């Protein structure tokens, strides 16, 4: 009798785990290319404070790195926290909507940076993502997936050129928490180490 009860309990546990695994990841659902592009673009441009880990084997400069980003409309601030290239650590790019500064965060009076402001490879990765979000995809798909941070909406765009862009949107905050792009021979993944909405940021955040 005891053995039968034990087997029944084990069977129930297995069935429960299978049910959880099935519900944690939904099959890709239909979505129009126009709706997918609009949704992905909106998520990417939301005001945000995110620490990104960037894995980009063919990056123009620096390889894998960690960058803390603040973005509010056209304003942004990028600070490189970790990099395999020591000279990049501490490098900061600030743009207040009109003027850009490129400096090390330990410097006191940085000079204005020429336009367009650049901080490779961070600005390069963001430029590619911006370009793909503005392009018209050939196909699109969406699905709900389970990440360590919780459920997320995964949106994938593919283009007739062979390029692709996938973004994972955190369902709790609406923020982008993972991005993958493939553009020609360039492939990169951005993973959010931490993330939060950027609500009412102080003006000094976008000043050196």
Encode pLDDT of 135-162 as tens digits. 999 999 999 999 999 999 999 999 999 9
Q: How confident is the model at residue 166 (pLDDT cuts 50, 70, 90)?
A: very high
Q: What CA–CA distances, in Å, run from 162 to 122, 166, 181, 186?
A: 23, 13, 11, 12
Q: What is the mean pLDDT of residues 59-75?
A: 92
Q: Name the helix (H) or strand (E) containing 42.
A: helix 33-45
Helix, strand, coil percentages (3-state) for the chain, rounded to 5, are: 25, 40, 35
pLDDT digits over 119-139, tens only? 999 999 999 999 999 999 999
Q: Where are the domains of the chain?
A: 27-206
Instruction: Say yes or no to pLDDT of 57 above 70.
Output: yes
Superfamily covering domain 27-206: Lipoprotein localisation LolA/LolB/LppX (2.50.20.10)
């Amino acid at each position: 009798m005891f053995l039968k009860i034990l087997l029944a309990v084990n069977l129930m546990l297995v069935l429960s785990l299978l049910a959880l695994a099935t519900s944690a990841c939904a099959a890709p659902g239909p979505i129009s290319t126009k709706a997918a592009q609009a949704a992905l673009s909106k998520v990417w441009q939301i005001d945000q404070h995110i620490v990104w880990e960037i894995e980009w084997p063919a990056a123009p400069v620096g390889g894998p790195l960690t960058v803390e980003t603040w973005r509010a409309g056209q304003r942004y601030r990028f600070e490189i926290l970790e990099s395999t290239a020591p000279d990049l650590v501490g490098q900061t790019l600030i743009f207040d909507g009109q003027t850009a500064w490129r400096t090390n965060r330990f410097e006191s009076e940085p000079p204005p940076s020429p336009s367009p402001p650049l901080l490779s490879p961070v600005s390069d990765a963001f430029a590619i993502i911006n370009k793909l979000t503005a392009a018209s995809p050939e196909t699109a798909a969406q699905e709900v997936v389970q990440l360590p941070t919780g459920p997320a909406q995964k949106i994938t765009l593919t283009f007739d050129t062979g390029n692709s862009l996938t973004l994972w949107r955190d369902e709790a905050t609406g923020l982008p928490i993972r991005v993958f792009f493939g553009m020609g021979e360039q492939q990169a993944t951005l993973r959010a180490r931490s993330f939060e909405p950027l609500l009412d940021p102080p003006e000094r955040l976008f000043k050196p």
